[in-house]
A and B are shown apart, each in its own frame.
Chain A
Amino acid sequence: MKIYWILVVAAPVALAGGWLMRGSLTPPTHMSSDFSLTTYSDSTSARAGEDFVEGTDAAVEEAAIDGRVRLPRSFDERLAVVDSIGADPSMDNVTMALQVIMAMRAGDLRAAMEQADSSYARRLLMERWVEIDPDGVLAYLSADEKKNYSLTRELFTQWAETDIDGALKAVQRLPESKQSSAYYRLINYLGKEDPVRAMKLIKSGKVGGNIAWRYNALMKNWVRDDPTAARAAIESISDRGERETAWRGYFSGLAEDDPNLALNEAQQLGTYHDRKRMLESVYSTWLRKDMDMAFASLEQIPSATMRSQIIGAQSWRLPLDDPESLMGYIDEYTDGRRQDDLVRNIVNRLAKSDPVRAAALVDQLPFGSNYRNSVNNLVRTWAENDPLAAMAWVDTLPPGSEKTNGQARALEYYAENHPEEALRFYLSLGSEERTNRHMSELSDGLAKYNPDFAAQLIAGVNQEDIRQKMEEELTKDWSRTDPEGALAYWTALGGELSKSTTSDIAYNWARKNPAQAADWAQTLEGDAQSDAIGRISEQWLRHDSLEASEWIATLEVSPGRDAAISNIVNQTLRNDPASAFDWATGVSDDSIRQNLTKNSYNKWKAKDPAAAEAALRKSDLPVEEINKLIGEGDKK
């Protein structure tokens, strides 16, 4: 009996002994297996207390590699050495920093990563921390609310390479917001090592993100190793959209290695749609790799339309290294609207990086909608960054609407960014150049910059006629963002509300708060009130037709009410002609009423003639209007 009791006690002890013994014999994971600090610290040539010289002197670094000096011991000194690679990225210095990093423990690596100024140093520290303390990094990521994409990416890239099963388990310990990024890395790894497993993982639905694009990325690699297996895997995807996106990845990957093969294979596909979509993928790769060869190969595609569609689909990817040649190709392979879209896109992209070159391209364009749009877009982009240069270029254009529009647009951006200079520039123009159109754009830009400041600037304009026009323009533009403020400005100036100003304020106010705008409209009189009610009702009906119609029902008989009812009728005519007819009969203006009742009655009659006629006969309309409507209906 005694021996069994001994065994009960001794067996766990033996188990623990085995555990501890193995643990003690295994090097700790935070120590690199091919690096030992003793290489340096045991150096006979180093003297205690004098072993570290700060700075990056080449001799010191060489001595460190030689093992003749010790590496810095304190955390601050180590951080200083590592961080110095920002200022001195020479190989000697980076090598020195790497040695220091190799000697640091997990906690120090993390602290140094958080404190280093140099982004290069932070990256090296992060990589090392992941190497020696993946569990610690995982715990850090799990607790930290920030996204930390780079750390997540680094951790799971390395973890996948070392222990994919462990990585797949570890990812589940991450917060959901970080799992998608981690899975991306794992699928990326599996895509190279075990694509069948990657496929299963994506199909499992656990990985988050856009499933179709996960397939796409997987196929891009898989096709390069085993196209047959990749094809079979794609065919097993049940969702048509996901399958198509996967095929696109397949052709894109195939084109990386052998674009001609990809082109031939895509051309064998059965339907026009499939051929076109897959060739788009082939060319998205090919054009990036070798634009000239890619365009030359287009001749192998028999359909000119398909060639044009394929190029049209690449608008954002077309390389801009040689825009002049690119424009030549576009001219050769596309036409009409598609060519317009491509050229516009190229000009827009080039305008951001090199507006002078973009302007040279625009100057070569044939006159047409493309030219017009390109001028506008170039001016907009250019003027945002350099309005004076943009204006100087616009001035070189031949006379015409493009030049006028371009000048106005450039002035607007000038005012938006440099209001005082823009106003000074405008006032310096001759009276012929200072057209009303320019003033409108100038005011628009000033209002966008800051309407209060614009009001101050305009108040300082000496020429009375110009100042008054600008004040009214500013009121309209101001009303877009702050209709109440604009109205207060205009009222303080003692100005009378013109039809267009009233209309602009009413429209903009009703977009933000129709009930308040409606209250304001009640304070107006005559045509101004009618116009305002018309604009407000239009906006309110769009927002909430019930509330709007309740308001309209409370309005007194007036041209404004008629305008509002016209809006209701036009809006409800299609869905509810009976209700539209009912509203139409309440219009006071004979001509408007006759027109509206006729439209709504005919619409209703087409759906339900008996009900429409019965309602018409019961309505309060004058007898001659009723008879006229019935008579017109009979003639039809």
Chain B
Amino acid sequence: MKYAFSIILLAIAFALGWFLNAPNARPQFDEDLDPIQLVDASPEWQAKTKGKSTREVAEAIYHEAMSVSFEEKYQLLGGILKKDSTASKLNARMIVMSMSEDELVRAIGQARAEDADRSTMNLLYGRWVDVNRDAAYAYFLEQPDPDDVSTLGYFIFKNWVLEDQAGAMIAWAQLDTNTQSKRLRTMVYSLAEVDLAQALTLQLTYGKADGNGPKNYAHIIDLWAKQDIESAKEALELVPRGDAYEQALKAYFNVLMDENRDLAMTEARELASNADQKSVLRSIYERWINDDVEGALGALALEKDPQQYMSAWRAADKDPVLVMDWAHANLDGAVQDEFISTAINRMVRKDPQMALSYIDSLPYGEAYTRALSNLSYNWARQDPEAAIAWFEAMPEGEDRNNAMRNVLSEYVNKDPEAAKAYFLSMDGEMQGSAVSNLANRLVQNDPQQALAWINSLPDPDLQSRLIKETYSSWAREDGSTLFAHLGADGFAKLDTNEQRNLMRSWADYSPREAADWLENAPEDQQKMLTDRVSREWLDHDTYEASIWISELPEGESREAAVKNLVNSISSSDPISALDWVVDIKDDGDRNRSAANILRQWKDKAAARDALLASSLSDDEVTKLLADVFNEKSGS
């Protein structure tokens, strides 16, 4: 009995060992696929593939050792490519390589119709280009939208430029500008794999006005520098100055930095252009900071203008304490302020309490107030209650009010109901400071809801202030809805300043709508409102505004708009301005405007000729000749 027990025990121990070392305890990313599952399992297919691995099936198809239909190949390809593994890539290629050109074209048509995935399209297009590039190119050109067959274009030009550069460029010249840019990039990258000098020549010859130019140059110089840093430096000098040179220069120095930072620093200082020096040294220091904050900051302190070479936030992310101490020791003035406020801004996002302790140690000045502002926004975004507790403990004054306004703006965004309740709990003075920010955010959420809430408040004075601010924000957000809400009667009840401001905001975003509404405006405010709308519209589109002005009925409103029009175009188009000035009915205004146009006119002879040819009266012309050109009557 005890022997039987012992045998069972040993068997259990063996089994335990067996299971503990089960393969599924370790990751396996390259499991095989079952070919039977990859194609609609017809009995014929099952019979053909039974007991075979996908690889064996793919090989058999490639060697034509297995008879398969086009549909079976196509389905098998799709099935294989559902798994993205090296084995699948290999097997799929064998299937594709077994296809005749007719089968490839058929498969491409079917795959496009089914919106097949990118890996399928890549293989089919790639193979077609291998088999018959001319046919593939003709097909590519036939497509109404080259972007639909972008991958095909990629394969055509990627290979073509390697085999026959002259032919490839003749074909490339037939493409539209947008496609040319993409395919030039393909060819430059492809050539760069085998011959960097040729790739650079290709880009220099064909890519002058190419938007991808800077990236292409940078790619070439990057590869070049990795292969041979000395000749890359010479190649860099061939890159045209501007954006392309800047990016190529960075690529060169990135490689040089990896090899020898000291040499990179020396070479950077030898660059002729200060802008280039600055950009490269900045890049070197940024990478240095990533590796070794202390060492980089130590070297930076020896620079004449260290702030030029570092982005504060990078270093502040790594070691804020070290960075702040460094800034205090090595920078001064507004430069120090800008640096410290950027650094604190980064700190605020990570740890508001820590940032606060730094802010408190700053002298009163721009860095302090900017940092407070950033802290209030960011802290409220993270934890509005804590931010409220903080600003409430601040001494009274403008800084506290600013902090409170910022916190409330964020609080409304995060939790509108709680923010509104908090606002109502504030004292009158604080409410007065916050009312604009609150209304602005409430309107962004929903102006009608904001008004409903405001109307439910018991304090009429607070109601009135909030409504005023709400209208002001609403006019900026959606003037047409506000004016529809107000109606002519509601608008007439507002004071003149408010009317003017609301109309200006609306006309700023929708001058035509605002102009159309003017007929609803009170008679006595027509002139003032037309003046506002015409200013905004003229600023946006002088021509459209001038058409509207020309159609306005005679009167003081039109007069105001014409004066604005004349002012608006007097320096850019003085001839038209002089034509329009005749429409100003007030003699004094007309004369002043005309004189102003003539004085601004740089070409005095042309100005004089235009004045003489204008429709102004003879008396006015005589007066203007005397006033502006110092020509006395009869001279």
List residues of A whose CB falls within 8 A of some B CB.
3, 6-7, 10-12, 14-23, 26, 29, 32-35, 65-66, 86-92, 94-95, 98-99, 101-102, 117-119, 124, 127-128, 130-132, 134-135, 158-159, 161-163, 166-167, 239-241, 271-273, 303-306, 308-309, 321, 335-340, 352-357, 366-370, 384-386, 398, 400-402, 416-418, 448-451, 453, 481-482, 510-515, 539-547, 574-575
Contacts and interface: CB of A to CB of B under 8 A. Distances in A.
A494 B209 CA distance: 46
Contacts of B11: 14
Contacts of B335: 511-512
A400 B333 contact: no
Given A90-B159, A271-B445, A305-B478, A543 B90 contact: no
A512 B331 CA distance: 7
Contacts of B275: 416, 448-449
B332 A513 contact: yes
B495 interface: no
21 contacts: A17-B17, A18-B21, A33-B53, A88-B162, A89-B158, A91-B123, A98-B89, A98-B93, A134-B29, A241-B413, A272-B446, A305-B477, A309-B478, A367-B543, A367-B573, A368-B543, A510-B334, A543-B337, A545-B365, A546-B364, A575-B399
Contact of B242 (A92, A337, A417): A417
Contacts of A340: 540
Contacts of B9: 7, 11
B255 to A, nearest CB: 14
Contacts of A167: 27
A385 B86 contact: no
Contact of A400 (B29, B211, B571): B571
Interface string B12-25: 01111111111110
Interface residues of B, number: 127
Interface in B155-180: 158-159, 162, 177-178
Nearest to B126: A91
A91 B127 contact: yes
Contacts of B336: 543
B272 A418 contact: no
B119 interface: no
Interface in B135-194: 147, 158-159, 162, 177-178, 181, 190, 193-194
Interface in B474-532: 477-481, 507-513
B241 A368 contact: no
B86 A545 contact: no
Given A336-B536, A546-B363, A514 B332 contact: yes
B540 A335 contact: yes
A131 B29 contact: yes
A366 B333 contact: no
A196 to B, nearest CB: 24
B32 interface: yes
A218 B29 CA distance: 24
Contacts of A401: 571-572
Contacts of A451: 274
B541 A368 contact: yes
B513 A335 contact: yes
Contacts of A88: 162
B571 A547 contact: no
B2 A3 contact: yes
A18 B27 contact: no
Contacts of A101: 86
A370 B542 CA distance: 10
A335 to B, nearest CB: 5
B130 to A, nearest CB: 5
A95 B209 contact: no
B29 A356 contact: no
A548 B212 CA distance: 51
Contact of A512 (B333, B479, B538, B544): B333
Nearest to A484: B304
B26 A127 contact: no
B54 interface: yes
A87 B573 contact: no
A89 B6 contact: no
Contacts of A540: 333
Contacts of A26: 21, 23
A543 B130 contact: no
Contacts of B130: 90-92
A32 B444 contact: no
Which 6 residue pairs of A and B lie closest in terms of their CB atoms, listed nearest first? Answer: A18-B17, A353-B211, A86-B193, A14-B13, A19-B17, A400-B572
Nearest to A485: B304
Interface of B: 2-3, 6, 9-11, 13-24, 26-32, 53-56, 59, 62-63, 84-87, 89-91, 93-94, 96-97, 123, 126-127, 130, 147, 158-159, 162, 177-178, 181, 190, 193-194, 208-213, 223, 227, 240-245, 272-275, 304-305, 308, 332-337, 363-367, 381, 397-399, 413-415, 444-449, 477-481, 507-513, 536-544, 569, 571-573
A352 B31 contact: no
B85 A131 contact: yes
Nearest to B56: A34
A298 B481 CA distance: 18
A90 to B, nearest CB: 5
A183 B596 CA distance: 67
Given A7-B6, A95-B90, A354 B211 contact: yes
A357 B363 contact: no
A369 B177 CA distance: 30
Given A86-B194, A272-B446, A450 B273 contact: yes
Contacts of A6: 6
A32 B363 contact: no
B30 A450 contact: no
Contact of A162 (B28, B126, B242, B544): B28
A547 B367 CA distance: 14
Nearest to A11: B13
B415 A481 contact: no
Contact of B93 (A91, A159, A305): A91
Given A34-B32, A417-B273, 16 more contacts: A6-B6, A18-B16, A32-B30, A87-B194, A134-B27, A135-B27, A162-B31, A240-B413, A336-B540, A366-B542, A368-B542, A385-B240, A386-B209, A542-B334, A545-B364, A546-B364
Contacts of A355: 209
Contacts of B126: 89, 91
Given A6-B6, A539-B334, A481 B29 contact: no
Contacts of B2: 3
A34 B478 CA distance: 65
A354 B212 CA distance: 10
Given A402-B572, A453-B272, A14 B242 contact: no
Most buried by B among A309, A370, A400: A400
Given A340-B540, A370-B540, A543-B367, A34 B23 contact: no
Contacts of B123: 91
A453 B271 CA distance: 12
Most buried by B among A12, A89, A539: A89
Nearest to A129: B86
Contact of B364 (A17, A158, A417, A544): A544
Nearest to B212: A353
Contacts of B17: 14-22
Contact of B365 (A10, A16, A417, A542): A542
B32 to A, nearest CB: 4
A239 B27 contact: no
B440 to A, nearest CB: 12
B586 to A, nearest CB: 26
B94 A33 contact: no
A15 B367 CA distance: 69
Contacts of B512: 335
Nearest to B538: A368
Given A21-B18, A91-B93, A367-B542, A14 B32 contact: no
A540 B363 CA distance: 11
Contacts of B305: 481-482, 512
